[in-house]
Chain A
Protein backbone atom coordinates (compact mmCIF):
# COMPACT_ATOMS: atom_id res chain seq x y z
CA UNK A 1 0.00 0.00 0.00
CA UNK A 2 1.09 3.55 -0.71
CA UNK A 3 0.83 6.14 1.99
CA UNK A 4 1.60 9.84 1.55
CA UNK A 5 2.36 11.78 4.72
CA UNK A 6 2.59 15.56 5.04
CA UNK A 7 4.12 15.87 1.58
CA UNK A 8 5.34 19.26 0.40
CA UNK A 9 7.16 20.14 -2.77
CA UNK A 10 8.33 23.57 -3.82
CA UNK A 11 9.94 24.47 -7.13
CA UNK A 12 10.97 27.88 -8.46
CA UNK A 13 9.42 29.48 -5.38
CA UNK A 14 6.03 27.93 -6.13
CA UNK A 15 4.41 25.52 -3.69
CA UNK A 16 3.26 22.63 -5.90
CA UNK A 17 2.22 20.27 -3.11
CA UNK A 18 1.20 21.59 0.28
CA UNK A 19 1.23 19.28 3.29
CA UNK A 20 -0.56 16.52 1.40
CA UNK A 21 -1.53 13.30 3.16
CA UNK A 22 -3.44 10.41 1.62
CA UNK A 23 -3.58 6.64 1.37
CA UNK A 24 -4.04 4.68 -1.82
CA UNK A 25 -6.28 1.63 -1.73
CA UNK A 26 -4.40 -1.47 -2.88
CA UNK A 27 -5.44 -3.69 -5.78
CA UNK A 28 -7.68 -1.09 -7.43
CA UNK A 29 -7.59 1.58 -10.08
CA UNK A 30 -7.41 5.01 -8.49
CA UNK A 31 -7.90 8.00 -10.77
CA UNK A 32 -6.09 11.22 -9.92
CA UNK A 33 -8.00 14.25 -11.19
CA UNK A 34 -7.83 18.00 -10.79
CA UNK A 35 -7.27 21.18 -12.75
CA UNK A 36 -3.98 21.91 -14.54
CA UNK A 37 -1.26 22.78 -12.07
CA UNK A 38 -2.95 20.97 -9.17
CA UNK A 39 0.19 18.88 -8.59
CA UNK A 40 -0.96 15.53 -10.00
CA UNK A 41 2.13 14.83 -12.12
CA UNK A 42 4.42 16.07 -9.35
CA UNK A 43 2.75 13.71 -6.87
CA UNK A 44 3.30 10.77 -9.23
CA UNK A 45 6.93 11.77 -9.86
CA UNK A 46 7.52 12.01 -6.09
CA UNK A 47 5.93 8.59 -5.54
CA UNK A 48 8.27 7.18 -8.19
CA UNK A 49 11.32 8.88 -6.52
CA UNK A 50 12.00 10.89 -9.72
CA UNK A 51 11.78 13.99 -7.51
CA UNK A 52 12.67 14.45 -3.85
CA UNK A 53 10.12 16.02 -1.50
CA UNK A 54 10.93 19.15 0.48
CA UNK A 55 8.96 17.77 3.35
CA UNK A 56 7.05 14.65 4.33
CA UNK A 57 7.43 11.13 3.05
CA UNK A 58 5.91 8.47 0.87
CA UNK A 59 5.91 4.85 1.97
CA UNK A 60 5.28 1.76 -0.10
CA UNK A 61 4.43 -1.25 2.08
CA UNK A 62 6.12 0.61 4.92
CA UNK A 63 9.31 1.37 2.93
CA UNK A 64 10.20 5.02 2.44
CA UNK A 65 10.58 5.23 -1.35
CA UNK A 66 13.28 7.89 -1.05
CA UNK A 67 15.34 5.93 1.45
CA UNK A 68 15.06 2.43 0.07
CA UNK A 69 17.54 1.14 -2.53
CA UNK A 70 16.28 2.27 -5.93
CA UNK A 71 16.83 -1.21 -7.39
CA UNK A 72 14.40 -2.64 -4.80
CA UNK A 73 11.76 0.00 -5.47
CA UNK A 74 12.02 -0.79 -9.20
CA UNK A 75 10.68 -4.28 -8.47
CA UNK A 76 7.65 -2.89 -6.64
CA UNK A 77 6.71 0.29 -8.47
CA UNK A 78 6.74 1.39 -12.12
CA UNK A 79 5.88 4.74 -13.67
CA UNK A 80 4.95 5.92 -17.12
CA UNK A 81 5.58 9.62 -17.40
CA UNK A 82 3.72 12.13 -19.45
CA UNK A 83 6.67 13.42 -21.44
CA UNK A 84 8.91 10.64 -22.51
CA UNK A 85 12.39 11.47 -23.80
CA UNK A 86 13.12 10.32 -27.37
CA UNK A 87 13.36 6.56 -27.33
CA UNK A 88 16.27 6.05 -29.71
CA UNK A 89 16.48 3.22 -32.17
CA UNK A 90 15.49 0.15 -30.20
CA UNK A 91 13.17 -2.53 -31.49
CA UNK A 92 9.77 -2.75 -29.83
CA UNK A 93 10.71 -6.07 -28.30
CA UNK A 94 14.08 -4.85 -26.98
CA UNK A 95 12.47 -1.79 -25.36
CA UNK A 96 9.66 -3.77 -23.75
CA UNK A 97 12.27 -6.31 -22.60
CA UNK A 98 14.07 -3.60 -20.61
CA UNK A 99 11.00 -3.57 -18.37
CA UNK A 100 12.34 -6.85 -17.00
CA UNK A 101 15.73 -5.35 -16.17
CA UNK A 102 14.99 -4.72 -12.46
CA UNK A 103 14.32 -8.44 -12.06
CA UNK A 104 17.15 -10.00 -14.06
CA UNK A 105 19.78 -7.21 -14.04
CA UNK A 106 21.03 -8.18 -17.49
CA UNK A 107 20.56 -11.95 -17.49
CA UNK A 108 17.05 -12.70 -18.78
CA UNK A 109 15.62 -16.15 -18.08
CA UNK A 110 12.96 -18.11 -19.97
CA UNK A 111 10.37 -16.68 -17.56
CA UNK A 112 11.44 -13.14 -18.47
CA UNK A 113 10.99 -13.89 -22.18
CA UNK A 114 7.55 -15.34 -21.47
CA UNK A 115 6.53 -12.17 -19.61
CA UNK A 116 7.79 -10.06 -22.50
CA UNK A 117 5.73 -12.04 -25.01
CA UNK A 118 2.64 -11.80 -22.81
CA UNK A 119 3.01 -8.04 -22.47
CA UNK A 120 3.48 -7.59 -26.24
CA UNK A 121 0.38 -9.69 -26.81
CA UNK A 122 -1.70 -7.80 -24.24
CA UNK A 123 -1.02 -4.46 -25.93
CA UNK A 124 -1.52 -5.87 -29.45
CA UNK A 125 2.14 -5.33 -30.34
CA UNK A 126 3.22 -8.80 -31.41
CA UNK A 127 3.19 -7.84 -35.10
CA UNK A 128 5.35 -4.79 -34.41
CA UNK A 129 7.92 -6.58 -32.21
CA UNK A 130 10.77 -6.25 -34.71
CA UNK A 131 10.11 -2.62 -35.67
CA UNK A 132 12.31 0.24 -34.44
CA UNK A 133 10.28 2.37 -32.01
CA UNK A 134 11.32 5.59 -33.77
CA UNK A 135 9.30 4.43 -36.79
CA UNK A 136 6.05 4.06 -34.80
CA UNK A 137 3.11 6.43 -34.48
CA UNK A 138 2.41 8.22 -31.18
CA UNK A 139 -0.31 5.77 -30.19
CA UNK A 140 1.83 2.75 -30.97
CA UNK A 141 4.70 4.21 -28.94
CA UNK A 142 2.40 4.76 -25.98
CA UNK A 143 1.30 1.13 -26.17
CA UNK A 144 4.94 0.04 -26.22
CA UNK A 145 5.61 2.05 -23.05
CA UNK A 146 2.55 0.55 -21.32
CA UNK A 147 3.75 -2.92 -22.32
CA UNK A 148 7.12 -2.08 -20.79
CA UNK A 149 5.42 -1.09 -17.52
CA UNK A 150 3.30 -4.26 -17.61
CA UNK A 151 6.45 -6.30 -18.16
CA UNK A 152 8.07 -4.72 -15.12
CA UNK A 153 5.33 -6.55 -13.21
CA UNK A 154 5.28 -4.33 -10.14
CA UNK A 155 2.60 -4.23 -7.45
CA UNK A 156 2.16 -0.52 -8.02
CA UNK A 157 1.77 1.11 -11.43
CA UNK A 158 1.72 4.90 -11.89
CA UNK A 159 0.43 6.25 -15.20
CA UNK A 160 0.62 9.97 -15.92
CA UNK A 161 -1.98 10.90 -18.55
CA UNK A 162 -1.52 7.71 -20.57
CA UNK A 163 -4.30 8.68 -23.00
CA UNK A 164 -2.71 11.85 -24.36
CA UNK A 165 -3.04 12.11 -28.14
CA UNK A 166 -4.56 8.67 -28.56
CA UNK A 167 -7.45 7.90 -30.89
CA UNK A 168 -10.50 6.10 -29.41
CA UNK A 169 -9.31 2.65 -30.50
CA UNK A 170 -5.89 3.15 -28.91
CA UNK A 171 -7.57 4.52 -25.77
CA UNK A 172 -9.51 1.29 -25.51
CA UNK A 173 -6.38 -0.89 -25.79
CA UNK A 174 -4.61 1.16 -23.11
CA UNK A 175 -7.57 1.30 -20.71
CA UNK A 176 -8.19 -2.44 -21.19
CA UNK A 177 -4.60 -2.98 -20.11
CA UNK A 178 -5.21 -0.76 -17.07
CA UNK A 179 -8.33 -2.77 -16.12
CA UNK A 180 -6.42 -6.00 -16.67
CA UNK A 181 -3.61 -4.90 -14.34
CA UNK A 182 -5.98 -4.21 -11.45
CA UNK A 183 -8.70 -6.81 -11.99
CA UNK A 184 -6.70 -9.83 -13.16
CA UNK A 185 -3.26 -9.12 -11.71
CA UNK A 186 -4.30 -7.40 -8.49
CA UNK A 187 -2.03 -4.40 -9.06
CA UNK A 188 -2.52 -0.99 -7.51
CA UNK A 189 -2.89 1.41 -10.42
CA UNK A 190 -2.82 5.17 -10.00
CA UNK A 191 -3.66 6.98 -13.19
CA UNK A 192 -3.81 10.71 -13.92
CA UNK A 193 -6.79 11.34 -16.19
CA UNK A 194 -8.16 14.54 -17.68
CA UNK A 195 -11.20 12.92 -19.25
CA UNK A 196 -13.51 12.45 -16.28
CA UNK A 197 -15.56 9.84 -18.13
CA UNK A 198 -12.55 7.58 -18.40
CA UNK A 199 -12.18 7.99 -14.65
CA UNK A 200 -15.88 7.18 -14.20
CA UNK A 201 -15.63 4.10 -16.34
CA UNK A 202 -12.39 2.56 -15.13
CA UNK A 203 -11.56 3.85 -11.65
CA UNK A 204 -12.84 2.39 -8.41
CA UNK A 205 -11.72 5.35 -6.37
CA UNK A 206 -11.02 8.93 -7.31
CA UNK A 207 -8.65 11.41 -5.69
CA UNK A 208 -9.08 15.07 -6.57
CA UNK A 209 -6.25 17.55 -6.03
CA UNK A 210 -6.53 21.33 -6.12
CA UNK A 211 -3.75 23.83 -5.45
CA UNK A 212 -1.50 21.06 -4.18
CA UNK A 213 -3.97 19.95 -1.51
CA UNK A 214 -6.40 17.09 -1.23
CA UNK A 215 -9.77 18.37 -2.42
CA UNK A 216 -11.86 15.20 -2.37
CA UNK A 217 -11.31 11.48 -2.09
CA UNK A 218 -13.64 8.53 -2.26
CA UNK A 219 -15.51 6.05 -4.44
CA UNK A 220 -15.81 7.20 -8.07
CA UNK A 221 -19.55 7.79 -7.69
CA UNK A 222 -19.19 10.21 -4.78
CA UNK A 223 -16.36 12.36 -6.18
CA UNK A 224 -17.63 12.43 -9.75
CA UNK A 225 -20.80 14.33 -8.79
CA UNK A 226 -22.06 17.75 -9.78
CA UNK A 227 -21.19 19.68 -6.64
CA UNK A 228 -17.61 18.49 -6.01
CA UNK A 229 -16.65 18.65 -9.69
CA UNK A 230 -18.06 22.14 -10.17
CA UNK A 231 -16.12 23.35 -7.15
CA UNK A 232 -12.96 21.48 -8.19
CA UNK A 233 -12.78 22.90 -11.71
CA UNK A 234 -14.74 26.10 -11.02
CA UNK A 235 -16.98 25.41 -13.97
CA UNK A 236 -20.45 23.86 -14.16
CA UNK A 237 -21.07 20.17 -14.91
CA UNK A 238 -24.07 17.92 -15.36
CA UNK A 239 -23.58 14.37 -14.18
CA UNK A 240 -25.87 11.83 -15.89
CA UNK A 241 -26.03 8.10 -15.40
CA UNK A 242 -24.99 5.78 -18.21
CA UNK A 243 -24.71 2.00 -17.75
CA UNK A 244 -24.90 2.51 -13.98
CA UNK A 245 -21.82 4.76 -14.08
CA UNK A 246 -21.64 8.52 -13.77
CA UNK A 247 -21.26 10.36 -17.05
CA UNK A 248 -19.91 13.88 -16.83
CA UNK A 249 -21.00 16.53 -19.31
CA UNK A 250 -19.81 20.13 -19.28
CA UNK A 251 -22.86 22.34 -18.86
Chain B
Protein backbone atom coordinates (compact mmCIF):
# COMPACT_ATOMS: atom_id res chain seq x y z
CA UNK B 1 0.00 0.00 0.00
CA UNK B 2 1.36 3.45 -0.84
CA UNK B 3 1.90 5.84 2.08
CA UNK B 4 -0.92 8.04 0.82
CA UNK B 5 -3.39 5.16 0.55
CA UNK B 6 -2.52 4.06 4.10
CA UNK B 7 -3.11 7.55 5.36
CA UNK B 8 -6.48 7.82 3.60
CA UNK B 9 -7.71 4.43 4.78
CA UNK B 10 -6.67 5.17 8.37
CA UNK B 11 -8.59 8.48 8.23
CA UNK B 12 -11.74 6.74 6.91
CA UNK B 13 -11.46 4.01 9.53
CA UNK B 14 -11.08 6.56 12.30
CA UNK B 15 -14.10 8.53 11.06
CA UNK B 16 -16.26 5.39 10.93
CA UNK B 17 -15.19 4.22 14.37
CA UNK B 18 -15.75 7.72 15.80
CA UNK B 19 -19.33 7.80 14.53
CA UNK B 20 -19.93 4.32 15.95
CA UNK B 21 -18.40 5.35 19.27
CA UNK B 22 -20.65 8.41 19.44
CA UNK B 23 -23.75 6.31 18.84
CA UNK B 24 -23.04 3.21 20.95
CA UNK B 25 -23.94 3.20 24.62
CA UNK B 26 -26.29 1.87 27.27
CA UNK B 27 -28.84 4.38 26.08
CA UNK B 28 -29.32 4.62 22.32
CA UNK B 29 -29.03 8.03 20.73
CA UNK B 30 -30.30 8.44 17.21
CA UNK B 31 -28.75 11.32 15.24
CA UNK B 32 -32.17 13.04 15.03
CA UNK B 33 -32.48 13.06 18.86
CA UNK B 34 -29.63 15.54 18.99
CA UNK B 35 -31.77 18.14 17.32
CA UNK B 36 -34.96 17.73 19.32
CA UNK B 37 -34.18 16.02 22.62
CA UNK B 38 -32.26 18.21 25.11
CA UNK B 39 -31.54 15.25 27.39
CA UNK B 40 -30.06 13.25 24.55
CA UNK B 41 -28.05 16.29 23.57
CA UNK B 42 -26.70 16.60 27.11
CA UNK B 43 -25.79 12.91 27.20
CA UNK B 44 -24.03 13.32 23.88
CA UNK B 45 -22.07 16.45 24.75
CA UNK B 46 -21.19 15.53 28.33
CA UNK B 47 -20.60 11.80 27.84
CA UNK B 48 -20.25 10.34 24.37
CA UNK B 49 -18.26 13.14 22.76
CA UNK B 50 -15.72 13.54 25.61
CA UNK B 51 -15.26 9.79 25.76
CA UNK B 52 -14.66 9.46 22.04
CA UNK B 53 -12.23 12.40 22.05
CA UNK B 54 -10.44 10.97 25.07
CA UNK B 55 -10.02 7.61 23.36
CA UNK B 56 -8.66 9.21 20.18
CA UNK B 57 -6.25 11.50 22.05
CA UNK B 58 -5.04 8.66 24.26
CA UNK B 59 -4.53 6.20 21.41
CA UNK B 60 -2.75 8.70 19.18
CA UNK B 61 -0.46 10.12 21.85
CA UNK B 62 0.42 6.72 23.38
CA UNK B 63 1.36 5.32 19.98
CA UNK B 64 3.58 8.35 19.29
CA UNK B 65 5.11 8.08 22.78
CA UNK B 66 5.87 4.42 22.08
CA UNK B 67 7.61 5.31 18.84
CA UNK B 68 9.73 8.00 20.52
CA UNK B 69 10.58 5.64 23.37
CA UNK B 70 11.79 3.07 20.84
CA UNK B 71 14.06 5.67 19.29
CA UNK B 72 15.45 6.75 22.68
CA UNK B 73 16.11 3.18 23.78
CA UNK B 74 17.27 2.20 20.26
CA UNK B 75 15.12 -0.87 20.52
CA UNK B 76 11.90 -1.81 18.80
CA UNK B 77 10.43 -3.81 21.65
CA UNK B 78 9.96 -1.24 24.39
CA UNK B 79 7.12 1.13 25.21
CA UNK B 80 6.33 3.38 28.18
CA UNK B 81 3.89 0.87 29.70
CA UNK B 82 6.46 -1.96 29.79
CA UNK B 83 9.64 -0.07 30.58
CA UNK B 84 8.90 1.64 33.85
CA UNK B 85 7.62 5.00 32.57
CA UNK B 86 3.96 4.38 33.41
CA UNK B 87 4.84 2.62 36.68
CA UNK B 88 7.04 5.55 37.69
CA UNK B 89 4.19 7.94 36.94
CA UNK B 90 1.89 5.88 39.18
CA UNK B 91 4.56 5.82 41.90
CA UNK B 92 4.80 9.60 41.64
CA UNK B 93 1.06 10.00 42.22
CA UNK B 94 0.99 7.56 45.13
CA UNK B 95 3.90 9.29 46.86
CA UNK B 96 2.32 12.68 46.21
CA UNK B 97 -1.07 11.49 47.50
CA UNK B 98 0.56 10.24 50.71
CA UNK B 99 2.88 13.20 51.22
CA UNK B 100 0.47 15.98 50.27
CA UNK B 101 -3.14 14.77 50.06
CA UNK B 102 -5.74 16.88 48.32
CA UNK B 103 -3.44 18.47 45.74
CA UNK B 104 -5.17 19.80 42.62
CA UNK B 105 -5.10 17.63 39.50
CA UNK B 106 -2.51 19.81 37.77
CA UNK B 107 -0.04 19.38 40.62
CA UNK B 108 -0.62 15.61 40.59
CA UNK B 109 0.04 15.66 36.89
CA UNK B 110 3.28 17.58 37.31
CA UNK B 111 4.43 15.16 40.01
CA UNK B 112 3.56 12.17 37.83
CA UNK B 113 5.43 13.69 34.87
CA UNK B 114 8.51 14.35 36.96
CA UNK B 115 8.46 10.80 38.31
CA UNK B 116 7.98 9.41 34.79
CA UNK B 117 10.91 11.49 33.56
CA UNK B 118 13.20 10.23 36.30
CA UNK B 119 12.09 6.62 35.94
CA UNK B 120 12.57 6.64 32.17
CA UNK B 121 15.96 8.36 32.38
CA UNK B 122 17.15 5.66 34.78
CA UNK B 123 15.87 2.98 32.40
CA UNK B 124 17.67 4.56 29.44
CA UNK B 125 20.94 4.74 31.37
CA UNK B 126 20.55 1.07 32.36
CA UNK B 127 19.91 -0.17 28.82
CA UNK B 128 22.66 1.98 27.29
CA UNK B 129 25.12 -0.33 29.04
CA UNK B 130 23.63 -3.54 27.66
CA UNK B 131 25.45 -5.33 24.81
CA UNK B 132 24.10 -4.25 21.43
CA UNK B 133 24.22 -7.82 20.11
CA UNK B 134 21.45 -8.86 22.53
CA UNK B 135 18.46 -6.67 21.65
CA UNK B 136 16.01 -8.76 23.67
CA UNK B 137 17.76 -7.80 26.91
CA UNK B 138 16.33 -4.29 26.59
CA UNK B 139 12.61 -5.19 26.78
CA UNK B 140 13.40 -7.83 29.42
CA UNK B 141 15.19 -5.25 31.54
CA UNK B 142 12.19 -2.97 31.04
CA UNK B 143 9.75 -5.64 32.18
CA UNK B 144 11.73 -6.41 35.32
CA UNK B 145 12.35 -2.73 36.06
CA UNK B 146 8.68 -1.82 35.48
CA UNK B 147 7.66 -4.80 37.58
CA UNK B 148 9.80 -3.69 40.52
CA UNK B 149 8.44 -0.13 40.43
CA UNK B 150 4.90 -1.47 40.00
CA UNK B 151 5.41 -3.67 43.06
CA UNK B 152 6.55 -0.64 45.06
CA UNK B 153 3.37 1.17 43.98
CA UNK B 154 1.19 -1.77 45.07
CA UNK B 155 3.03 -2.13 48.37
CA UNK B 156 2.69 1.56 49.24
CA UNK B 157 -0.96 1.51 48.24
CA UNK B 158 -1.67 -1.67 50.21
CA UNK B 159 -0.04 -0.28 53.35
CA UNK B 160 -2.06 2.92 53.07
CA UNK B 161 -5.45 1.64 51.87
CA UNK B 162 -5.07 3.17 48.43
CA UNK B 163 -5.43 0.02 46.33
CA UNK B 164 -8.71 1.20 44.85
CA UNK B 165 -7.07 4.35 43.51
CA UNK B 166 -4.10 2.47 42.19
CA UNK B 167 -6.45 0.22 40.29
CA UNK B 168 -7.74 3.21 38.30
CA UNK B 169 -4.20 4.09 37.24
CA UNK B 170 -3.08 0.58 36.44
CA UNK B 171 -6.14 -0.63 34.52
CA UNK B 172 -6.94 1.77 31.75
CA UNK B 173 -10.57 2.36 30.91
CA UNK B 174 -12.74 5.13 29.56
CA UNK B 175 -16.12 4.43 31.20
CA UNK B 176 -15.60 7.16 33.82
CA UNK B 177 -14.68 9.81 31.25
CA UNK B 178 -17.11 12.71 31.15
CA UNK B 179 -16.81 16.39 30.31
CA UNK B 180 -14.41 18.03 32.76
CA UNK B 181 -12.47 14.80 33.37
CA UNK B 182 -10.52 14.30 30.17
CA UNK B 183 -9.38 17.77 29.05
CA UNK B 184 -5.81 17.18 30.27
CA UNK B 185 -5.49 14.70 27.45
CA UNK B 186 -5.38 17.60 25.02
CA UNK B 187 -1.96 18.41 26.51
CA UNK B 188 -0.86 14.83 25.80
CA UNK B 189 -2.16 15.22 22.25
CA UNK B 190 -0.32 18.51 21.92
CA UNK B 191 2.94 16.97 23.16
CA UNK B 192 2.59 14.22 20.55
CA UNK B 193 1.81 16.77 17.84
CA UNK B 194 4.84 18.88 18.79
CA UNK B 195 7.00 15.80 18.23
CA UNK B 196 6.17 16.19 14.55
CA UNK B 197 8.11 19.47 14.50
CA UNK B 198 11.20 17.49 15.45
CA UNK B 199 10.45 14.61 13.06
CA UNK B 200 13.72 14.93 11.11
CA UNK B 201 15.78 15.35 14.26
CA UNK B 202 14.20 12.27 15.85
CA UNK B 203 14.74 10.22 12.70
CA UNK B 204 18.42 11.19 12.70
CA UNK B 205 18.80 10.40 16.40
CA UNK B 206 17.35 6.98 15.50
CA UNK B 207 20.46 6.45 13.34
CA UNK B 208 22.67 6.62 16.43
CA UNK B 209 24.76 9.17 18.26
CA UNK B 210 27.61 9.30 15.77
CA UNK B 211 25.31 9.94 12.84
CA UNK B 212 23.48 12.63 14.80
CA UNK B 213 26.68 14.44 15.83
CA UNK B 214 28.04 14.15 12.30
CA UNK B 215 24.94 15.91 10.97
CA UNK B 216 25.37 18.69 13.51
CA UNK B 217 22.51 17.75 15.83
CA UNK B 218 22.50 18.42 19.56
CA UNK B 219 22.11 14.73 20.39
CA UNK B 220 21.45 15.29 24.09
CA UNK B 221 18.92 18.05 23.46
CA UNK B 222 16.90 15.89 21.07
CA UNK B 223 17.06 12.97 23.51
CA UNK B 224 15.89 15.24 26.34
CA UNK B 225 13.05 16.57 24.22
CA UNK B 226 11.93 13.05 23.35
CA UNK B 227 12.16 12.01 26.99
CA UNK B 228 9.99 14.94 27.99
CA UNK B 229 7.35 14.15 25.37
CA UNK B 230 7.20 10.48 26.42
CA UNK B 231 6.93 11.40 30.10
CA UNK B 232 4.23 14.03 29.63
CA UNK B 233 2.08 11.76 27.47
CA UNK B 234 2.48 8.76 29.77
CA UNK B 235 1.87 10.66 33.00
CA UNK B 236 -1.24 12.36 31.70
CA UNK B 237 -2.77 9.19 30.32
CA UNK B 238 -2.00 7.27 33.52
CA UNK B 239 -3.67 9.94 35.66
CA UNK B 240 -6.74 10.43 33.46
CA UNK B 241 -7.53 7.00 32.02
CA UNK B 242 -4.97 4.59 33.47
CA UNK B 243 -2.30 2.39 31.90
CA UNK B 244 -3.10 1.08 28.45
CA UNK B 245 -0.66 -1.58 27.32
CA UNK B 246 0.63 -2.55 23.85
CA UNK B 247 -0.53 0.51 21.86
CA UNK B 248 2.92 2.06 21.99
CA UNK B 249 4.46 -1.28 21.13
CA UNK B 250 2.48 -2.77 18.26
CA UNK B 251 1.41 0.36 16.36
CA UNK B 252 4.91 1.79 15.67
CA UNK B 253 6.17 -1.67 14.72
CA UNK B 254 3.42 -2.27 12.21
CA UNK B 255 3.78 1.20 10.68
CA UNK B 256 7.56 0.77 10.48
CA UNK B 257 7.14 -2.45 8.53
CA UNK B 258 4.68 -0.95 6.10
CA UNK B 259 6.13 2.53 5.60
CA UNK B 260 9.54 2.66 7.20
CA UNK B 261 11.07 4.88 9.85
CA UNK B 262 11.15 8.29 8.25
CA UNK B 263 9.14 10.05 10.94
CA UNK B 264 7.83 12.75 8.60
CA UNK B 265 5.68 10.03 7.10
CA UNK B 266 5.54 7.61 10.00
CA UNK B 267 4.45 9.95 12.84
CA UNK B 268 1.02 10.95 11.46
CA UNK B 269 0.30 7.35 10.51
CA UNK B 270 1.39 6.06 13.91
CA UNK B 271 -0.91 8.60 15.60
CA UNK B 272 -3.87 7.69 13.40
CA UNK B 273 -3.33 3.96 13.74
CA UNK B 274 -3.00 4.32 17.52
CA UNK B 275 -6.32 6.16 17.68
CA UNK B 276 -7.97 3.54 15.45
CA UNK B 277 -6.65 0.65 17.54
CA UNK B 278 -7.71 2.05 20.91
CA UNK B 279 -11.07 3.24 19.60
CA UNK B 280 -11.71 -0.17 18.05
CA UNK B 281 -10.80 -1.93 21.30
CA UNK B 282 -12.90 0.47 23.38
CA UNK B 283 -15.90 -0.17 21.12
CA UNK B 284 -15.30 -3.90 21.33
CA UNK B 285 -15.19 -3.67 25.12
CA UNK B 286 -18.48 -1.79 25.10
CA UNK B 287 -20.23 -4.22 22.78
CA UNK B 288 -18.99 -7.65 23.88
CA UNK B 289 -21.10 -7.77 27.05
CA UNK B 290 -23.52 -4.99 26.18
CA UNK B 291 -24.77 -3.12 28.19
CA UNK B 292 -21.85 -3.93 30.51
CA UNK B 293 -18.28 -2.91 29.70
CA UNK B 294 -14.93 -4.64 29.53
CA UNK B 295 -12.09 -2.15 30.28
CA UNK B 296 -10.12 -1.18 27.18
CA UNK B 297 -6.87 -2.14 28.92
CA UNK B 298 -8.11 -5.72 29.18
CA UNK B 299 -9.23 -5.88 25.55
CA UNK B 300 -5.91 -4.43 24.40
CA UNK B 301 -4.03 -6.79 26.67
CA UNK B 302 -5.51 -9.74 24.78
CA UNK B 303 -5.38 -8.30 21.27
CA UNK B 304 -2.05 -6.52 21.76
CA UNK B 305 -0.33 -9.59 23.15
CA UNK B 306 -1.51 -11.60 20.15
CA UNK B 307 -0.26 -9.01 17.66
CA UNK B 308 3.03 -8.69 19.53
CA UNK B 309 3.68 -12.43 19.37
CA UNK B 310 2.93 -12.34 15.68
CA UNK B 311 5.36 -9.41 15.23
CA UNK B 312 8.11 -11.29 17.04
CA UNK B 313 7.74 -14.27 14.72
CA UNK B 314 7.24 -12.55 11.39
CA UNK B 315 10.46 -10.61 10.84
CA UNK B 316 10.64 -8.40 7.77
CA UNK B 317 12.54 -10.09 4.96
CA UNK B 318 16.14 -9.09 4.32
CA UNK B 319 17.76 -9.39 0.93
CA UNK B 320 21.15 -11.09 0.90
Contact = CB atoms under 8 A, between A and B. Distances in A.
B174 to A, nearest CB: 33
Interface of B is mostly: loop
B206 A70 contact: no
Contacts of A48: 213-214
A89 B260 contact: yes
Interface stretch (A54-62, A90-98, A206-214): A90-98
A115 interface: no
Contacts of A70: 213, 216-218
B319 A74 contact: no
A79 interface: yes
B289 interface: no
A158 to B, nearest CB: 9
B207 interface: yes
Given A98-B204, A98-B215, A136 B319 contact: yes
B167 interface: no
A99 B206 CA distance: 15
Contacts of A89: 256-257, 260-261, 316
A94 B260 CA distance: 10
B262 A94 contact: yes
A126 B256 CA distance: 23
Nearest to A79: B214
Contacts of A74: 214-216
Contact of B208 (A85, A91, A102, A137): A85
A75 B211 CA distance: 14
A50 interface: yes
A132 interface: yes
B260 A90 contact: yes
Interface in B40-94: 74
B318 A88 contact: no
A211 B246 CA distance: 51
B249 to A, nearest CB: 17
Given A90-B262, A134-B316, A135-B319, A85 B207 contact: yes
Interface in A130-144: 132, 134-137
Contacts, number: 76
A106 B206 CA distance: 16
Contact of B260 (A50, A91, A106): A91
Given A90-B262, A91-B260, A101-B200, A49 B213 contact: yes
Contacts of A88: 206-207, 256, 260-261
B320 interface: yes
A71 B204 CA distance: 14
Interface in A64-116: 70-75, 78-79, 81, 84-85, 87-91, 94, 98-99, 101-102, 106
Interface in A38-53: 48-50
B213 A134 contact: no
Interface in B281-320: 316-320
B210 interface: yes
A73 B257 CA distance: 34
A201 to B, nearest CB: 27
B216 A102 contact: yes
Contacts of A132: 260
A74 B216 CA distance: 5
Contact of B216 (A73, A134, A137): A73
Contacts of B211: 84-85
A74 B210 CA distance: 12
B218 A98 contact: no
Contacts of A136: 319
Contacts of B215: 74, 98-99, 101-102, 152
Interface in B184-216: 200-201, 203-204, 206-211, 213-216
The residue in B210, B217, B218 that gathers the most chain A C-beta atoms within 10 A of its C-beta is B210
Contacts of B319: 135-137
Nearest to A140: B319
Interface in A17-44: none
A101 B210 contact: no
Contacts of B203: 90, 98
B320 to A, nearest CB: 6
B216 A50 contact: no
A90 B261 CA distance: 6
21 contacts: A48-B213, A50-B209, A50-B213, A50-B214, A70-B216, A72-B216, A74-B214, A74-B216, A75-B216, A81-B210, A84-B208, A85-B208, A88-B207, A90-B203, A90-B260, A91-B262, A98-B200, A101-B215, A101-B217, A132-B260, A152-B215
Given A91-B260, A106-B200, 16 more contacts: A70-B213, A70-B218, A73-B216, A84-B208, A85-B207, A88-B256, A88-B261, A89-B316, A90-B203, A90-B262, A91-B262, A94-B260, A98-B200, A101-B217, A102-B216, A137-B320
Interface of B: 74, 200-201, 203-204, 206-211, 213-218, 256-257, 260-262, 316-320
